[in-house]
Structure 1
Amino acid sequence: MPAGAARPEGRGHRAHRPRPCRLLRPAPRADGARSVSQPQDDATRYQLPAAENRRIFVADIVPDHLTGPTPQDPATAVFLLGQPGAGKTRVAQLIAEQLDARGGFVDVDSDLYKPYHPEYARLLIFS
């Protein structure tokens, strides 16, 4: 969110915005630690080191998606599942309206967080 910009009233998160993704591979690490771009035989090659995971979470994801809602006591969790075309988007909008009236909410949707992975754009291109 740009400096000085106000959050939408009552929203615990802001609408998803595309994140800049690195298309170039990072240079090999001097400390010898495994980089996400070093070849491996399975999906673990895309697992980030814990420190980088934490840095991305704290510096990017928390400010973008997890600040703003008022803590609730008791807390409410809503799990929304369904097949494609079942109407989840509309139901999610109705749920959001209700939760916004109670102080906002945090949307825990993996699709919101995937673009924060440094190799997300490359994985989309080559998958």
Structure 2
Amino acid sequence: MKYRRLSADRDYVMGRGNADLLTDTPETVAQAVATRLRLLAGEWFLDLQEGTPYAPAVLGRHTAVSYDLAVRERILGTSGVRAIAAYESTLDPESRRLTVAVTVDTIYGPAAIQEVL
């Protein structure tokens, strides 16, 4: 499994050859999970069905039941993820931000991910 490394501001890192790539590590899978969680459903022009269904499942009133399910399914559908070892989420109604802290068992070992979506 190979992914281009992202900088702290979530931009591609380039100019250092293979050092710019994540290859066959838990960090590779963690970045894949984070990237998939950030992709909104309908946002990718090549596949409008791809993405996290934030509009119907996460945002809005009374979504506590559906947002964890939607996020967990998205994580488990990521290549390299075997299982979710730990999961915690908090939805702030004021800012409408969902914070997810998850530890996944990957094909390369455990990986911790924390995202504010």
* TM-score calculated relative to the size of structure 1: 0.29
Q: With a CA cutoff of 8 Å and minimum separation of 6, indicate the structure with the bigger relative contact order.
A: 1
- Which structure: greater strand fraction? 2
- Which structure: greater helix fraction? 1
